[in-house]
Structure 1
Amino acid sequence: MNVTNVTANADAFTCNAYLVEGDRTVLVDPGAMEGVVDVIDGLTDELDAVVLTHQHGDHVAQLDAVLDAFDAPLYAYGEHPRRTTELEDDDQVFIGDEAFDVVYTPGHADDHVSFVSESTLFSGDVVVHDDGAFDYGSFGRTDMPGQSRERLIESIEALLEQMPDGVEHMYAGHGDDFHGDVRDVVETALDRAEKREPKYPDDE
């Protein structure tokens, strides 16, 4: 299974958008980078699916452009006019070469889901390896309207309950990829979130 961050060279703010090549070529979040369609087109001729972790603008601004270019089905938890398959908690989707469990992980966004297989976690924004607040285990911000630190903590706990011990690859919505003991990174993020301290003190 080959994973490429197709927004790695973005000049403007975007999420990490991951093209996963394998038995099923799938895009996890299209992101907000203009020109992402050209980057994807340079790597593959078709997409078997686009799956969304959530629908914040930095994750879906280029969604219509990608769907128009590749005529791919859209998998999403939250309602969307172009959604072809509704994701639910405990569903299973095939990404690349592996079956991934869908874990409902709200708190940062009401429609947030994460995808976890025997080896890999696509965590969206619920947990990231590093960002401007923390390195080695950070969590999605919860200081904006409609967000909840308490729900985020419950989501990280649920993710840990469902995550196999052997997960070694983590692809988050922001920050760097991580390869190693993913459970330890997620547990570190949970510990920090449980302190209830502002993630960005200047903004809260």
Structure 2
Amino acid sequence: MIQNLAAGQQGFTSNVFLVAGERTVLVDVGNQFDVVAATREYVDDIDAVVLTHTHPDHVGNLAAVVDAFDVDVWGFDTDADGVDHAIADGETVLLGDDEYEALHTPGHKDDHLCFYSRSNQTLFAGDLVFANGGFGRTDLEEGDRGLLVESVGRVLDTVDEELQAMHTGHGPSVTANPHTDIELALQAARMRA
């Protein structure tokens, strides 16, 4: 089960995906809403938090989640506040019942990761790409349009054309031909580079 706990929230928050299964995790924790209560509507406990990156809208609720569930936090850079364990580029992580490959995808932020499962054809894209060819901002600290273009290209080269679902850091998940949305994001990012 993959559930967006931030759906319908009005605050400045990222999406928060509860991935339930053998290893129940939150992918990002959002900001400015009670993510602990939202999590407990579906499960009693979680095993870990996995971060796509550490912008405030993705980690604002981190202290509350760690306090409530007594879990470790995994991300790319253990120098970032709250990150206990590093996930290296190319490392495999268990989210729910499926293995995901971690892809280091800087450009929006230096510590940005995407997670791709070939077995269930699912991508957690964070703020790298969005529905309808949108892509992450590069005007923030650590933003770099050239790196972002390279990262989107890497994701496009990695995922299969049969990708079934792309869960993004903001906006709706894409379940109808998400491979096309990634192609469009690459074209758009190159045009504005």
Shorter-chain TM-score: which interval? over 0.9
Q: Give the conservation status (yes or no) of the 8 Å contact 1:3–1:18.
A: yes
The one-letter code matched in structure 2 to 1:164 is: D
- Contact conserved, 2:62 with 2:82, CA < 8 A, in 1? no
The aligned counterpart of 1:110 is 110
- Structure 1 length-normalised TM: 0.89
Q: Please tell me the residue identity of whatever aligns with 1:157.
A: G
Distance 2:57 2:83 in 1: 18
Once the two structures are TM-superposed, the CA of residue 81 in structure 1 deviates from its matched residue by 4.7
- Give the distance between the partners of 2:35 and 2:6, measured in 1 at CA: 7
Structure 2 residue matching 1:127: 3-state secondary structure: coil
Are residue 162 (structure 1) and residue 158 (structure 2) matched?
Answer: yes
Unpaired stretches in structure 2, ≥5 consecutive residues: none
1:90-144 CA distance string (max 9 Å, x none): 0010111111000011000010000011210000000011xxxxxx111001122
Counterpart in the other structure of 2:54: 55
State the number of aligned residues.
190
The yes-or-no answer on 1:151 pairing with 2:147 is: yes
Q: Deviations over 1:63-99 (max 9, x none)?
A: 1100110111211102235433211100010111111
Q: Distance in 1 between matches of 2:83 and 2:139?
A: 28
Equivalent-residue separation in structure 2 for 1:73 and 1:181 (angstroms): 34
Query: 1:37 offset after TM fit, Å?
Result: 0.7
1:181, distance to aligned residue in structure 2 (A): 1.7
1:42-81 counterparts in 2 under 5 A? 42-79=41-78, 80-81=80-81
The whole-number CA distance in structure 1 between the counterparts of 2:153 and 2:52 is 17
User: Could you tell me the TM-score, scaled by structure 2's length?
Assistant: 0.94
C-alpha contact (below 8 Å) 1:106/1:112 kept by paired residues: yes
| Structure 1 partner of 2:88 | 88
Residues 109, 141 of structure 2: 8 Å contact kept: no
The answer as to whether partners of 1:117 and 1:167 remain within 8 angstroms in 2 is: no
